[in-house]
């Protein structure tokens, strides 16, 4: 590898600012978590461990990618490397190229667009969690698996509020999520529209999360309500949103899997091997591959931990099978749609 000259120029400063931004986003979230974190609580330890595993598995490979890119560029300094390399586009090009690469990209984007935004919004509103946009920013700047585990850690260390969801904000959520999902099939790194569509997909996920969350009042601390009652007024609309997301996500996964795996020249088994093996062919691909694996694990653990009564074992095996058959995004949306289904109050 060429000698590493770290002269700080404009491009190097941008990379430093990038890392500093991540630290600034993390600081208030970790401060909030630390106030209620208890090593004696199993759920706290599980999601803290998942967050650390996600961070280690994704960013160890991301720094390996940085080293690979630096070597490939033939640059003699970090500034020269960053100046001559479109790092962001290069990474997405490496990750998304080919049939197998696009399959992995579609799954990660589907979860980010179709599952995380409504999940952050709903559970955040239930517990009065402020700064929800920070979790989405970390999902896009660090890794969706890290942000998801960190969010779940925040949720399990926060008490639910006796407050329904805001109807205007849910009206913002629905079009933003659906339009963002609609851009995923068109994310082709070989086309000039790729960057604009990618940026639009990510930008659309922020508006619902900027909605103001009122601070806790004394009544919030005194009144404890059930998981379902918190959003009683919004249940029909929320259920509909999750059903649409589930149909879109399941159909997309089945289509992508058929096109890129089941229809593989080497047969179904050969297609599956090609898909799994693809994530180990390059550090950038390994990073996004482990991101998908870790966020799937975090979602599965969340659904199992929050399952009602003795349904945890059932939730575990249905979750695993569902994620294989209809994809992590599809299974997660189906589970959320089931949980938010309007309750029949007739005797």
Most confident of 190-194, 225-229, 236-240, 325-329: 325-329
> Is-contact 316 300, C-beta < 8 A?
yes
Q: pLDDT value at position 225?
A: 39
Distances (CA, A) of 288 to 98, 255, 325, 334, 340: 15, 21, 20, 24, 30
Q: What is the pTM of this model?
A: 0.87
More confident residue, 213 or 174: 174
Half-sphere exposure of 87 (CA within 13 A, CB side): 19
Q: pLDDT value at position 220?
A: 45
Q: pLDDT value at position 196?
A: 87
> Is-contact 145 58, C-beta < 8 A?
yes
Q: 168-192 b/e with 16+ CB inside 10 Å = b?
A: ebbebbbebbbebbebbbebebeee
- Mean pLDDT of the 89-99 span: 83
pLDDT of 288 > 80? The answer is yes
Q: What's the pLDDT tens digit per position in 126-172?
A: 888 889 999 999 999 999 999 999 999 999 998 776 655 555 567 78
* Alpha-carbon span 199 to 137, nearest angstrom: 13
Mean pLDDT of the chain: 84
Q: 120-131 b/e with 16+ CB inside 10 Å = b?
A: bbbbbbbbbbeb
Provide φ and ψ at 309, rounded to 5°: 50, -130
Distances (CA, A) of 63 to 11, 97, 295, 327: 17, 20, 20, 28
Q: pLDDT value at position 15?
A: 85
SS3 call for 140: helix
With cut-offs at 50, 70 and 90, classify the pLDDT of residue 347: very low
Q: What's the pLDDT tens digit per position in 51-86?
A: 999 999 999 999 999 999 888 888 788 888 888 888
Q: pLDDT value at position 213?
A: 54
Q: pLDDT value at position 170?
A: 75
Q: What's the pLDDT tens digit per position in 242-282?
A: 999 999 999 989 888 887 777 778 888 888 888 889 899 99
Q: What's the pLDDT tens digit per position in 228-237?
A: 334 445 667 7
- Mean pLDDT of the 221-225 span: 41
pLDDT of 104 > 70? The answer is yes
Q: What's the pLDDT tens digit per position in 292-340?
A: 999 999 999 999 998 876 677 877 888 999 999 999 999 999 999 998 8
Q: pLDDT value at position 88?
A: 80
CA-wise closest residue to 22 among 111, 139, 112: 139
* Alpha-carbon span 336 to 339, nearest angstrom: 5
Q: pLDDT value at position 210?
A: 84
């Amino acid at each position: 590898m060429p000698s590493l000259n770290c002269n700080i120029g404009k491009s190097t400063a941008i990379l430093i600012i990038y890392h500093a931004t991540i630290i600034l986003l993390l600081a208030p979230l970790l401060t909030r978590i630390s106030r209620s974190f208890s090593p004696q609580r199993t759920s706290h330890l599980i999601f803290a461990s998942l967050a650390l595993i996600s961070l280690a598995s994704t960013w160890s490979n991301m720094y390996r990618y940085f080293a690979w890119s630096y070597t490939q560029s033939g640059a003699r300094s970090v500034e020269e490397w960053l100046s001559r390399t479109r790092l962001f586009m290069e990474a997405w090009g490496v990750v998304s190229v080919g049939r197998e690469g696009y399959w992995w990209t579609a799954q990660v984007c589907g979860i980010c667009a179709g599952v995380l935004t409504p999940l952050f919004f709903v559970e955040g509103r239930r517990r009065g969690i402020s700064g929800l946009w920070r979790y989405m920013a970390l999902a896009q700047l660090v890794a969706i698996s890290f942000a998801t585990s960190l969010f779940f850690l925040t949720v399990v260390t926060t008490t639910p509020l006796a407050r329904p969801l805001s109807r205007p904000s849910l009206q913002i959520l629905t079009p933003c999520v659906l339009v963002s999902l609609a851009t995923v099939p068109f994310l082709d790194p070989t086309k000039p529209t790729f960057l604009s569509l990618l940026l639009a997909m990510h930008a659309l996920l922020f508006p619902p999360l900027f909605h103001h969350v009122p601070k806790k009042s004394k009544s919030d601390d005194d009144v404890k309500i059930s998981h379902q009652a918190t959003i009683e007024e919004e249940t029909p609309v929320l259920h509909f949103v999750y059903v649409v997301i589930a149909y879109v996500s399941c159909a997309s996964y089945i289509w992508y899997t058929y096109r890129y795996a089941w229809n593989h020249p080497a047969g179904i088994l050969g297609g599956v091997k090609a898909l799994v093996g693809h994530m180990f062919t390059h550090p950038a691909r390994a990073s996004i591959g482990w991101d998908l694996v870790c966020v799937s694990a975090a979602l599965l653990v969340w659904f199992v931990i929050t399952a009602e009564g003795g349904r945890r074992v059932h939730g575990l095996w249905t979750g695993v099978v569902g994620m294989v058959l209809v994809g992590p995004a599809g299974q997660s949306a189906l589970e959320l749609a089931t949980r938010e289904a309007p309750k029949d109050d007739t005797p």
